[in-house]
């Protein structure tokens, strides 16, 4: 059975909206032209934008208190890939999937074939040394790559090397390493020795990278370690990536910072020193909330992209950050959340392309703070929705992805094939 949404239904959905889109697109085109932008050119640029879907994002998330699974939860990586195929079919901005091992530990050839049949490929691999698996010899309770016990560290290194091996077989070219290692009490660990052990393990992982691969280290301020974390912030992350070598760079998960931290400045700093590797996009109100991208602070998302576009335009040859979503969908249909989140990130990118950079530089040089801020606001306030809709339509996607998805009844169809699962017993965070 073809898991994707029926092409006739999609065409029908689009035909209901296309006359209005023509009018809105023409109006936006005029508005942008007055500002010196060519809407068709921007539309083509928007169409090039891609952000990876995390395989774990298509299942309902949860907190340590509870998980409330919806109908038709994916049973395994092949179901997850089908859900990602539908997201890409409708959005056309999510061509890659990022796997997490061992959550997605299946036959690589079968995973690759399945992805190909759905028009998908694979983004960065994610290793998991923050949980114990049933058949695991050494526990990660007191850490993984930085554990005091050499055999536990070796096991964590081995796992990362295996992730690279699986990644190679499916056509990935990057590994993201996030560890939960740290401590829960002052004095519990020696911070310097713990970092040395981590670095030693990461050097072994780095040595196992194929030459065209990249290694992303992901920082996070706290959780599950609540007193100190080995890779707690962008400064440590930068030092680690620098220590490891040119194939290593830093991954910024938007939720992994203290509240009110200026993330766009972190982005600028890392890029300035050539160590910005990629992103896990999500939104946050208090901590690592993993809320939908752009749902809390869309202006901050725009400001991050304002920095990215600035770097992209200044250093086009070396600019290649990996974009991925990393969210937990607790109360929504994950497919709907991932579609709307991917489009929010794409929107922020296109809005950032509208910033008049000459005017901005002029106001900065003249210390005209108000006009500098207005220059950014002007781009941010522009409703680029018709441009995004047209980009999707041109690529065969849906003008309104959520409406088409609901009309197709995808969720209730897969719910008939995929057995209902219970949320009892709490969930993964």
Query: Can you give the binding site for Mn ion, defined by CB under 5 A?
Result: 253, 280, 288, 326
Smallest Cα–Cα separation from 382: which of 358, 353, 359, 339? Answer: 353
Q: How far is the CB of 208 from ligand LRH (least distance, A)?
A: 19
3-state secondary structure 153-213: HHHHHHHHHHHHHHHHHHCCCEEEECCCCEECCCCCCCHHHHHHHHHHHHHHHHHCCCCCC
* Paired tokens of 25: 């697109």
Hey, which residues does 97 pair with through a beta bridge?
A: 53, 122
Q: What is the DSSP track for 229-290?
A: ETT-SHHHHHHHHHHH-TTEEEEEETTSS-TT--HHHHHHHHHHTT-EEEEEE-B-SSSS--
- Please select the residue that binds ligand LRH; options are 79, 123, 218, 307, rule is CB under 6 A: 218
Which CB, 13 or 283, lies closer to ligand LRH?
283
Q: How far is the CB of 82 from ligand LRH (least distance, A)?
A: 21
Q: Which residue is nearest to ligand LRH (CB)?
A: 178
Which CB, 178 or 380, lies closer to ligand LRH?
178
Strands, sheet with 125-127, edge to edge from the N-terminal-most edge strand: 100-101, 125-127, 174-177, 214-218, 248-253, 276-281, 322-325
Contact code string over 296-325 relative to ligand LRH, x by CB under 6 A: ------------------------------
Q: How far is the CB of 218 from Mn ion (least distance, A)?
A: 6
Q: How far is the CB of 407 from ligand LRH (least distance, A)?
A: 32
- Please select the residue that binds ligand LRH; options are 220, 257, 329, 347, rule is CB under 6 A: 220
Q: How far is the CB of 300 from ligand LRH (least distance, A)?
A: 18
Hey, which residues does 250 pair with through a beta bridge?
A: 217, 276
280 contributes a contact to ligand LRH by CB under 6 A: yes
Contact code string over 321-360 relative to ligand LRH, x by CB under 6 A: -----x----------------------------------
User: How many other CB atoms are there within 10 angstroms of residue 84's CB atom?
Assistant: 29
Distance, CA of 252 to CA of 255 (rounded, Å): 9
- Please select the residue that binds ligand LRH; options are 79, 82, 288, 289, rule is CB under 6 A: 288
178 contributes a contact to ligand LRH by CB under 6 A: yes
289 contributes a contact to ligand LRH by CB under 6 A: no
216 contributes a contact to ligand LRH by CB under 6 A: no
Q: How far is the CB of 399 from ligand LRH (least distance, A)?
A: 32
Q: How far is the CB of 110 from ligand LRH (least distance, A)?
A: 23
Contact code string over 250-269 relative to ligand LRH, x by CB under 6 A: ---x----------------
Which CB, 341 or 351, lies closer to ligand LRH?
341
Which CB, 13 or 288, lies closer to Mn ion?
288
Q: For the chain, how big is the Rg over CA atoms in Å? A: 22
Which CB, 64 or 377, lies closer to Mn ion?
64
Distance, CA of 352 to CA of 346 (rounded, Å): 10
Q: Counting beta carbons within 10 angstroms of the beta carbon of residue 329, is it exposed (0 to 12), middle (13 to 18) or buried (19 or more)?
A: buried
Contact 393, 365 (CB under 8 A): no
- Please select the residue that binds ligand LRH; options are 88, 89, 94, 126, rule is CB under 6 A: 126
* Paired tokens of 33: 């032209």
Q: Which residues contact 10 (CB under 8 A, 6 or more apart)?
A: 89, 90, 398, 404, 408
Residue 323 interface partner, choices ligand LRH, Mn ion, none, CB cut-off 5-8 Å depending on type: none
Hey, which residues does 53 pair with through a beta bridge?
A: 97
Q: Counting beta carbons within 10 angstroms of the beta carbon of residue 286, is it exposed (0 to 12), middle (13 to 18) or buried (19 or more)?
A: exposed
Residue 126 interface partner, choices Mn ion, ligand LRH, none, CB cut-off 5-8 Å depending on type: ligand LRH
Which CB, 3 or 321, lies closer to ligand LRH?
321
The binding site for ligand LRH (CB under 6 A) comprises 56, 126, 178, 218, 220, 253, 280, 288, 326
């Amino acid at each position: 059975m073809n898991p994707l949404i029926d092409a006739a239904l999609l065409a029908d959905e689009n035909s209901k909206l296309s006359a209005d889109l023509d009018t809105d697109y023409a109006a936006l085109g005029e508005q942008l032209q007055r500002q010196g932008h060519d809407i068709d050119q921007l539309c083509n640029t928007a169409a090039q934008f891609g952000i990876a879907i995390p395989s774990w994002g298509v299942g309902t998330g949860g907190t340590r208190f509870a998980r409330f699974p919806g109908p038709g939860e994916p049973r395994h990586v092949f179901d997850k890939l089908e859900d990602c195929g539908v997201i890409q079919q409708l959005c056309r901005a999510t061509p890659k999937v990022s796997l997490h091992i061992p959550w997605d530990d299946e036959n690589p050839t079968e995973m690759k074939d399945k992805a190909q049949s759905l028009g998908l490929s694979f983004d960065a691999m994610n290793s998991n040394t923050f949980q114990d698996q049933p058949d695991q010899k050494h526990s990660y309770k007191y850490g993984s790559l930085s554990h005091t016990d050499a055999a536990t560290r070796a096991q964590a290194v081995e796992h990362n090397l295996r992730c690279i091996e699986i990644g190679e077989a499916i056509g990935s070219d990057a590994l993201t390493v996030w560890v939960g290692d740290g401590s829960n009490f002052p004095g519990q660990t020696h911070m310097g020795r713990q970092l040395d052990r981590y670095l030693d393990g990461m050097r072994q992982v780095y040595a196992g990278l194929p030459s065209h691969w990249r290694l992303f280290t992901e920082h996070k301020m706290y959780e599950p370690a609540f007193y100190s974390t080995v890779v707690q912030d962008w400064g440590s992350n930068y030092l680690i990536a620098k220590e490891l070598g040119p194939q290593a760079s830093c991954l910024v998960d938007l939720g992994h910072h203290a509240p009110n931290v200026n993330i766009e400045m972190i982005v600028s700093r890392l890029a300035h020193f050539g160590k910005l590797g990629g992103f896990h996009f999500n939104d946050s109100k208090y901590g690592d909330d993993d809320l939908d991208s752009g749902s809390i602070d869309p202006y901050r998302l725009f400001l991050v992209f304002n920095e990215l576009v600035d770097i992209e335009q200044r250093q086009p040859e070396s600019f290649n950050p990996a974009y991925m979503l990393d969210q937990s969908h607790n109360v929504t249909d994950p497919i709907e959340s991932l579609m709307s989140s991917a489009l929010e990130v794409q929107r922020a990118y296109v809005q950032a392309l509208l910033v008049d950079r000459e005017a901005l530089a002029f106001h900065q040089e003249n210390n005209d703070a108000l006009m500098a801020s207005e220059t950014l606001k002007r781009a941010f306030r522009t409703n680029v929705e018709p441009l995004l809709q047209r980009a999707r339509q041109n690529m065969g996607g849906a003008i309104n992805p959520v409406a088409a998805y609901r009309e197709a009844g995808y969720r209730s169809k897969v719910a008939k094939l995929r057995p209902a699962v219970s949320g009892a017993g709490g969930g993964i965070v």
